[in-house]
Chain A
Amino acid sequence: MKRSPDKYKDLDENIMALRGESSRRLTLDRITDRIEEYENKNKKFLFIKYGFSIAMFLGILFLVFQLTSLTDFNQKGTIQETLIPPTTSSDGGISPSENTESDSEEEPVTEEVEEQIEEDPLEKYGDFYIVEEDYIAINTYAVMLIDEEADEILIENVNIKDFARDHVNVFKEIPDHESERLINAGFPEEYYYYLSATGVQESIGPRGYIQVTGEEIEKVIAEIMEVTSVMVAEGKPGYPMGEEMEELVQQMYELFVELDEYVNGRDS
């Protein structure tokens, strides 16, 4: 059957035509409900906010009134001792001037923390740390998501050097291997290696967030990806079991040792 490229548009029009009016209305109703719910929550928040502002305003008025009364009282030449600064406590607490001093002492600590966050990963990890668009996209996305959901910002730095070193251990037979946790939870050991292999695909595969350049390293990574695709059984359900998986794990281990030696040196 021969087709023209206009079929792209046909597909779009076909899908759009199949969307029923009832679906269209129902979705709009749901959007409206969510907006109303959101606005109602905002109203409650605004009520609290305004209530707090009014209370603050009244408090300030009261304070001003108190101070004015005291000043008038003082100007009339009566009890001088009653003019105590409002923030000074009777049991020898901190005076406003002392407070200012302690605040200024804390400032350099904050600056130090900010400097640590702003450390340039490119400078830290050198040539092999190449920030690609995908990497930035993933992190920007993560920052947005976490910021919205939990009012918290998470910045994760990933680099090829640590990745290579960590994965030597992932594919190495160690008695207290992390896989034990999965096995204890009822999963077969192969599942741990299957998950690890999918992680490798996400990290250094053609669409991974770590991308490196260089003839040798690209060759090693291509070999790793070849073994990885067998481990994750691309296009098939499940994943290899038993001896087949053991052999693949051994191959992965050897390849990661090679990668580790390449990026971290033989003495790493």
Chain B
Amino acid sequence: MLEDYQIITDWYEKYSDSIQSFIYIMVHDFQQSEDLMQDTFFRAYRKLDTFKGESTEKTWLFSIAHNVTIDFLRKRKTLQLFKGVFRETPSGDTPESVYMLKEENNELFLALNELKDQQKLVITMRKIKGFSIKETSEILGWSETKVKTTLHRALPVLESKMKNRGIFYEKVT
């Protein structure tokens, strides 16, 4: 029990910043991203006995974070349906909930947010977090082919969103 707790805190020290950044890109609210990360590590503690070391601990933690985040996004989507009835603002972003990013990073961040969730996920995993195709497929629970095709379709879409914002990539890979 104490040993398990020690493992979780060690992993927290090593990966929490990176996981929080992934969740933040997905949910656009830093307080929410901290809460979801809390869920991620608590769930990891409870399920630690199922971690057999077949993947790296980082990949395993990211797959839990992915599940926790997708669960939250689904719930939020349902909530937004009801918000729509009462004609509330479609975007939940408020100055209190978002980081003040550097201008050039903010454009990429906002352009990413215009993509579909699956496209955003695959670009975040492959390009921002630098996971391999195999690792990305393990984290997202997709086939490697799906990772490749979704990324292949997502990058030009992101490029066009960036162009709309007056920003051009020198090369999109």
A interface with B by C-beta (< 8 Å): 1-5, 7-12, 14-16, 18-19, 23-24, 26-28, 30-32, 34-35, 38-39, 133, 137, 140-141, 144-145, 187, 191, 194-195, 198, 207, 237-239
**A contact patch SS:** helix
Main secondary structure of the interface of B (DSSP, over half): helix
Query: How far does the alpha carbon of A194 sit from the alpha carbon of B80 in the complex, in Å?
Result: 13
Is B136 engaged at the interface, CB distance under 8 Å to the other chain?
no
B138 interface residue, CB < 8 Å from A? no
Within the assembled complex, what's the spacing in Å between the Cα atoms of A149 and B92? 28
Contacts of B30 in A (CB 8 A): 18-19, 23
30 contacts between A and B (CB under 8 A): A1-B104, A2-B168, A3-B108, A3-B170, A4-B170, A5-B170, A8-B108, A8-B123, A11-B25, A14-B99, A15-B24, A15-B99, A15-B101, A18-B99, A18-B100, A18-B101, A19-B17, A23-B30, A27-B38, A28-B9, A28-B16, A31-B38, A31-B41, A34-B38, A35-B45, A133-B141, A133-B146, A137-B142, A187-B85, A207-B116
| Separation of A207 and B117 alpha carbons in the complex (Å) | 10
| CB of B160, distance to nearest CB on chain A (Å) | 14
Interface size on B, residues (CB 8 A): 57
How far is the CB of A61 from the nearest CB of chain B, in Å? 31
Chain B interface residues toward A at CB < 8 A: 1, 5, 8-9, 12, 16-18, 20-21, 24-25, 30, 34, 37-38, 41-42, 45-46, 67, 70-71, 81, 84-85, 87, 89-90, 99-102, 104-105, 108-109, 116, 118, 123, 127-130, 141-143, 146, 162, 166-173
The 5 closest A-B pairs by CB, nearest first: A15-B21, A8-B127, A16-B17, A11-B105, A18-B99
- B16 CB contacts on chain A under 8 angstroms: 24, 27-28
The CA of A185 and the CA of B109, in the complex, are separated in Å by 39
Smallest beta-carbon distance A145→chain B, Å: 7
CA distance A2 to B159 in the complex (A): 12
A-chain residues with CB within 8 Å of residue B105 when the two chains form the complex: 7, 10-11, 14-15
Contacts A5-B171, A7-B104, A34-B42 given; does A12 touch B71 at CB 8 Å: no
Residues of B within 8 A of A16 (CB): 17-18, 20-21
The minimal Cβ–Cβ distance linking A83 to chain B, given in whole angstroms, is 48
A18→B31 CA distance, assembly (Å): 13
Partner of B87 from the list A2, A35, A145, A238 (CB cut-off 8 Å) is A238
Residue of B nearest to A186 (CB): B85
Closest residue on chain A to residue B2 by CB atoms: A39
Contact indicator B20/A19 (Cβ below 8 Å): yes
Chain B residues lying within 8 Å of A237, measured Cβ to Cβ, are 84, 87, 89-90
When C-beta atoms are compared, the residue in chain B nearest to A23 turns out to be: B34
Looking across the interface, which residue of chain A has its beta carbon closest to that of B9? A28
Closest Cβ neighbor of B123 among chain A residues: A8
| CB of A134 to closest CB in B, whole Å | 9
Chain B residues whose CB sits within 8 angstroms of the CB of A3 once the complex forms: 104, 108, 162, 167-170
Q: Please name all residues of chain B whose beta carbon is closer than 8 Å to the beta carbon of A207 when the two chains form the complex.
A: 116, 118
Residues of B within 8 A of A144 (CB): 67
